[in-house]
Amino acid sequence: MKRLITLLTVIALITVLSVAFASGKKSEEGKVKIAFLSHTYEPWNNKLQEQANAFMEANPNVEIEYSYVMHADLYAKMISSLEAGTAANVIGVYGPWMPKLVNGGFVAEAPPDVVKDIENNYADFGIDAVTYNGKIYGHIQHVGLRTTIINPDMFKELGEKIPDTWSGFAKLADKYSHLSDRVITALEPAGDSVVSQWCTLLKSFGGEILTEDLKRAAFNSPEGLAATRTYLKLSNPAFIGTDEVSAFILGKAGLVMDGPWARTFYEDSTVLERFYSTIPPKEKYRQIASYVWLWAVNTDATDAKKRASWDFVQFLSNDENYLDMAKTIGFVPFREANIRDMSEDMWVKGFAEATEYAFIYYERIENWEEVETVLRRELERTIAEEITPEEALANAETGINKLLQ
Stretch that binds another protein, among 72-80, 142-150, 295-303, 355-363 (CB under 8 A): 72-80
Comparison of 8 and 72: residue with beta carbon closer to another protein: 72
- In Å, how far from its chain's centre is CA 125? 16
Residue of the chain from 10, 12, 22, 72 that contacts another protein (CB under 8 A): 72
- Degrees, nearest 5: CA angle 317-310-112: 95
- Tell me which DSSP letter residue 177 carries: T
Helix segments in 131-262, DSSP class H: 152-158, 166-175, 194-204, 222-234, 243-249
d(CA 317, CA 335): 9
Residue of the chain from 239, 293, 295, 322 that contacts another protein (CB under 8 A): 239
189 binds another protein (CB under 8 A): yes
258 with 250: CB under 8 angstroms? no
Stretch that binds another protein, among 115-123, 241-249, 255-263, 354-362 (CB under 8 A): 241-249
Residue 289, beta-bridge partner list: 359
Residue of the chain from 43, 111, 168, 237 that contacts another protein (CB under 8 A): 237
Ramachandran angles phi, psi of 160, nearest 5°:
-115, 145
66 binds another protein (CB under 8 A): no
Residue of the chain from 130, 140, 190, 358 that contacts another protein (CB under 8 A): 190
d(CA 295, CA 117): 15
Residue of the chain from 6, 161, 241, 302 that contacts another protein (CB under 8 A): 241
Comparison of 75 and 359: residue with beta carbon closer to another protein: 75
Helix segments in 258-335, DSSP class H: 263-267, 303-316, 319-328
d(CA 325, CA 44): 8
Stretch that binds another protein, among 129-137, 144-152, 292-300, 364-372 (CB under 8 A): 364-372
Stretch that binds another protein, among 60-68, 264-272, 302-310, 365-373 (CB under 8 A): 365-373
- Degrees, nearest 5: CA angle 243-371-261: 40
Stretch that binds another protein, among 18-26, 75-83, 278-286, 340-348 (CB under 8 A): 75-83
Q: Are strands 139-143 and 131-132 parallel, antiparallel or unpaired?
A: unpaired
Q: Are strands 253-258 and 292-297 parallel, antiparallel or unpaired?
A: unpaired
For the four alpha carbons of 345, 350, 353 and 356, in that order, the dihedral sign comes to negative
Site string for another protein, 374-403 (x = CB under 8 A): ---xx-xx-xx-x-----------------
| Closest alpha carbon to 369 in 106, 65, 63, 98 | 98
- Degrees, nearest 5: CA angle 336-121-261: 55
300 binds another protein (CB under 8 A): no
Residue of the chain from 165, 373, 388, 401 that contacts another protein (CB under 8 A): 373
Residue of the chain from 100, 171, 284, 307 that contacts another protein (CB under 8 A): 100
Residue of the chain from 179, 238, 271, 337 that contacts another protein (CB under 8 A): 238
240 binds another protein (CB under 8 A): yes
Residue type, 396: A
Residue ranges binding another protein (CB under 8 A): 72, 75-76, 79-80, 82-83, 100-101, 104, 106, 180, 189-191, 237-241, 243, 246-247, 250, 252, 367, 369-370, 373, 377-378, 380-381, 383-384, 386
